[in-house]
Amino acid sequence: MGNILSVCHAVEMAGGDIVMCTSADQIGGVERIILPGVGAFGDCMRNLRERGLVDALNRLVLEQKIPILGICLGMQVMAKRGFEGGEYDGLGWFEADVVRLVPNDASLRVPQIGWNDVTFQRDCELFGGLPEAPDLYFVHSYYMRCERRENVIATCDYGGTVTAAVGKDNIVATQFHPEKSQDYGLKIIRNFLSWQP
């Protein structure tokens, strides 16, 4: 999960304390969870299973209702399935598939790398205090295609509408990288740290 150090740095800048957990026995007692990730869907799920983190995350997030923020691949594995290099089961928290990004505009490259305007639900606390359509930083070749539109809390346009963030209950997740999105990203992380779902 290659963005862990930059996520840790951003959380510290936002005023949070960090416990980095790599196994199930380290994760108990946390107040909030951030699930980062860079890489492939199948590899990420295999690592989570091998470390016993799937059961731990299900217990903490679904039963104990601990707030969680997924970032990039950490968001994607919250879907029921991913199709990156094959078909893989995800955590299944969202009725969604993770599919390859195919822009309608042939001039747009995949992966999408760089800044893009994000349109978000104005009443979503994760985006509180942000201006309309803030620029946020993306690096991805796949995106979450949600079956339930009410779970999509932000989108961007990249040769078509792309899911930029999802949310329900105590779960929020972003396809963009708040830890790389400068002041707006830090604001999103601060909002998550104070969020009371």
Q: Is 72 an annotated catalytic residue?
A: yes
| Structure tokens given for 106 | 């042939």
Q: Which of 44, 72, 84, 140 is catalytic?
A: 72
**177 catalytic residue (yes or no):** yes
Q: By the 8 A CB rule, do 24 and 53 touch?
A: yes
User: CA 158, CA 162: separation in Å to the nearest integer?
Assistant: 7
User: Is 179 considered catalytic here?
Assistant: yes
Coil, helix or strand at residue 89: strand
Rounded Cα distance, 122 and 144, in Å: 21
192's tokens: 């998550």
For residue 1, give both structure tokens.
């999960």
Catalytic: which of 44, 84, 156, 179? 179
Q: Give the closest residue to 41 by CA, choosing from 6, 2, 74.
A: 74
Q: Are 156 and 164 in contact (CB under 8 A)?
A: yes
* Residues with active-site annotation: 72, 177, 179
